[in-house]
Structure 1
Amino acid sequence: MGGWAIAVHGGAGVDPNLPKDRQEQATRLLTRCLQIGISALRSSLPAIDVVELVVRELETDPFFNSGRGSALTEKGTVEMEASIMDGADRRCGAVSGVTTVKNPVSLARLVMDKSPHSYLAFSGAEEFAKQMGVEMVENDYFITSDNVGMLKLAKEANSILFDYRIPLESCGAAAVENPPLHMNGLPISVYAPETVGCVVVDSQGHCAAATSTGGLMNKMVGRIGDSPLIGSGTYACDICAVSCTGEGEAIIRGTLARDVAAVMEYKGLDLQEAVDFVIGKRLDKGKAGLIAVSSKGEVTCRFNSVGMFRACAAEDGYMEVGIW
């Protein structure tokens, strides 16, 4: 094995009723982002630059839950979070509670490269963004009419809402009538395990990962999920890179991303074995998925939810784009 490899995800926990046109829209976006990454890798861009480039593209398109199109808090606002990690030297950067930064993943990169810290949040992250001169927009830029409607439904159902890509008219009753599930011990009608992410190994064998999200529809203000937490939602080292998506609370409890690397390091498992072990043994009844690459050029996607929006490719010609 060897050579470059890349994987992209747009979230786990897909609603089985997702309309055909939305499925096709998702597949087109995933394919476009995958091609952007492949072109960058063929141009010898380092892994860390490629993951930032691809996640920026996902944040800019409103289809998935990150950047523009982010899920709304209980107050109807957007609080975004993102992280990035360079496996070559295990440097990392993360941000939470970002409300006006157009591309949170690039702010996370600046935290890594231009600050003495690894993680900045809320007003501190916003202040740092202004100092760095990144592109800022009004909070309204991130809010879509679909998500405003979904927040209303979530409030009526007194729940955290599942899949905001389902047309509003087809999910009102379902949101209220479904039997309660549980997240972190709390009953909820429906759940929104949505995130975007990218993992890359370049032709030098260097691994990198980046993850970005708007979090949960109708989440409490101030809630932080797994995506910006290094070792939970995102991790990269000299042997692999991982980006997770799904029930954030379960991913946090399982330190999912770091565990993939740990069982490779300490048990000597290969990438697929490590990912299978972690999804099977570390999820604590949660629903989630992850994408991963190894320094040997391996790439894999695995999930225990109904589906996960994903696309991956390797230098040897392997390519897959899938939802279910």
Structure 2
Amino acid sequence: MLRTKTGSLFVLLFVFLLSCSGTKEENEELEDQNVVVSQEQPIALVIHGGAGTIKRENMTPEREQAYREKLAEALNHGYAVLEKGGKSVDAVIAAIKVMEDSPLFNAGKGAVFTHDARNEMDAAIMDGKTRNAGAVAGITTVKNPITAAFEVMQNSPHVFMVGKGAEQFAEEQGLEIVDPSYFREEKRYEQLMKIIESEQQQLDHSSLREMEWEDPYFNDRKYGTVGAVAVDSEGNVAAATSTGGMTNKRYGRVGDVPVIGAGTYADNATCAVSATGHGEFFIRNVVGHEIASIMRYAGKSLDQAAKEVVMDQLVKMEGSGGVISIDKDANISMPFNSAGMYRGYIKEKGKANTFIYNDEDEGL
């Protein structure tokens, strides 16, 4: 009986040792797998609130503080989604909605006026994991245009809807619909009147400079937009952009924001990009896709690709503006060739970094 028990124990010990053994290569492979699993995927969110002739001498301390506080609020709202394990798509929407609800930015509540004194808004969103996208243009009744773009992406077979059709679709999806008067901001309307007057009077250089000092909106009438890009805990990137377009625009003009690949683009294999600037140049350069293509085909880093497009290609075409961009490893690039760009990023809870001028250290 004792012999049998001893034999059984020997067999069990042999099986145990055998299960613990393995080749050096197998063990190294297992260690590598464990390293990958144990590594925490970085999460991050980047936003912009428009680019243009944004200078300290034209900015009061109160106004600067208001912009920085609202940028920080948008960053914190978006990051809260990521911190809970939420998707990058949901994070960029959360950040954008904060800025759309503020009259400080040319999107949603702060949208500029067309020549016919209407507020016509455009928005787009793109998921880097699937490269699914949604966009709307020329809408006037959806409180948060970015939500309309999201519904197009999620609940339709289409990518791009415009005008009344886009509004009807948004209403059918249960989005909040408001009277167009909701978007009317008197400062924006005064801006329109000044620009129309300037066209009629053909102001000389000194008069233009005086208007720039009196009205911080005047010289940035082509460049206002809000945008967000993010990477989530699954390594998926997303981009979203929203705008009221160009002040005094006519004939149903649409800029780069809702043009997928120009003002908005996202692909996990490369990066997510949201642009702000003189839209016609960003469309002609297909800015978002161009940055991704330089990364994909030239093997350059995100920062190298973004700067090549914004600081070289656009400058040669005399296109003004900037981009925010991010890749799956949470690398960030925010180049712009104008005097300033409202922008910021967050990689850790409670540490929202905001910037306005071109001489600020971004710490990237």
- TM-score, structure 1 as length reference: 0.89
Displacement of 1:240 in angstroms is 1.0
Root-mean-square deviation (Å): 2.1
* Selected match of 1:308 from 322, 326, 341: 341
Which residue number in structure 2 is paired with residue 134 of structure 1?
A: 175
Rounded to whole Å, the distance in 2 between the matches of 1:197 and 1:319 is: 16
- Structure 2 residue 272 is the aligned partner of structure 1 residue 241: yes
8 Å CA contact 1:207–1:295 kept in 2: the answer is yes
5+ residue gaps in structure 2? 1-39, 201-205, 213-217, 358-364
2:81 corresponding residue in structure 1: 40
The aligned counterpart of 1:182 is none
- Retained in 2: the 8 A contact 1:50–1:200? yes
* Aligned counterparts of 2:125 and 2:74: Cα–Cα separation in 1: 17
Q: Residue 341 of structure 2 aligns to which amino acid in structure 1?
A: M
Q: 1:198 to 1:189 in 2, by over 3 A?
A: closer
Offset from partner CA, 1:278-311 (integer Å, 9 cap, x none): 1123212111100001011111211000000001
Once residues 263 and 220 of structure 2 are traced to their aligned partners in structure 1, the CA distance between those partners, rounded to angstroms, is 21
* C-alpha spacing 1:302/1:316, structure 2 compared with 1 (3 Å): farther
**Would you tell me which structure has more helix in proportion to its own residues?**
2
* 1:314 Cα offset (Å): 2.1
- 1:27 corresponds to: 68
Structure 1 residue identity aligned to 2:208: A
After superposition, residues 60-139 of structure 1 pair within 5 angstroms as 60-139=101-180
**Bigger mean CA deviation after superposition, 142-151 or 309-318:** 309-318
1:211 aligned residue (241, 260, 265): 241
CA contact (8 A) 1:73 1:221 kept: no
Per the alignment, in what secondary structure is the counterpart of residue 68 of structure 1?
A: helix
Q: Secondary structure at the match of 2:110?
A: coil
Displacement after TM superposition at 1:124 (Å)? 1.1
**Contact conserved, 2:82 with 2:232, CA < 8 A, in 1?**
yes
| Aligned-residue offset at 1:190 | 6.7
CA contact (8 A) 1:3 1:315 kept: no
What is the Cα deviation at residue 265 of structure 1?
Answer: 0.6
1:85/1:208 contact within 8 Å kept? yes
CA–CA distance in structure 2, aligned partners of residues 20 and 216 of structure 1? 26
- What are structure 1's unaligned runs of at least 5 residues? 160-171, 179-187
Between Structure 1 and Structure 2, which shows a larger proportion of strand residues? 1
CA distance in 2, matches of 1:253, 1:150: 28
1:6 aligns with 2:45: yes
Q: CA deviation at 1:237?
A: 0.3
| Alpha-carbon separation, structure 2, partners of 1:320 and 1:177 | 31
Change (3 A) 1:145 1:317: closer
Q: Secondary structure at the match of 2:108?
A: coil
Partner of 1:162: none
Please name the residue that 2:286 is paired with: 255
Contact 2:82-2:91 within 8 A present in 1 as well: yes
Task: Write the letter of the residue equivalent to 1:144.
Answer: E
Matched, 1:52 2:93: yes
- Cα deviation for residue 189 of structure 1 reads 7.8
Q: CA deviation at 1:20?
A: 2.5
Q: Is 1:202 aligned to 2:232, yes or no? A: yes
- Give 1:143's aligned residue: 184
Answer with 267-276 or 189-198: which moved more.
189-198
Q: Is the contact made by 2:127 and 2:239 (CA closer than 8 Å) also made in structure 1?
A: yes
Corresponding residue pairs, total = 303
Q: How many percent of aligned residue pairs carry the same amino acid?
A: 38
Instruction: Determine whether 1:296 maps to 2:296.
Output: no
Determine the structure 1 residue equivalent to 2:295. Answer: 264
Q: Is the 8 A contact 1:2 1:298 kept in 2?
A: no
Q: State the secondary structure of the residue aligned to 1:141.
A: helix
Which string of whole-angstrom CA distances, capped at 9 and with x for unpartnered residues, describes residues 201-247 of structure 1? 11211000000000011111411000111000000001310000011
Aligned-residue offset at 1:315: 4.5
Give the secondary-structure state (helix, strand or coil) at the position aligned to 2:103: coil
Question: In structure 2, what is the Cα distance between the partners aligned to 1:21 and 1:174?
Answer: 24
What is the SS of the residue equivalent to 1:323? Answer: strand
Structure 1 letter corresponding to 2:288: A
Partner SS for 2:161: strand
Give me the whole-angstrom Cα distance separating, in 1, the residues matched to 2:320 and 2:283: 12
Q: 1:223 to 1:39 in 2, by over 3 A?
A: same
1:157 counterpart SS class: helix
8 Å CA contact retained: 2:78, 2:95: yes
Paired residue type of 2:93: E
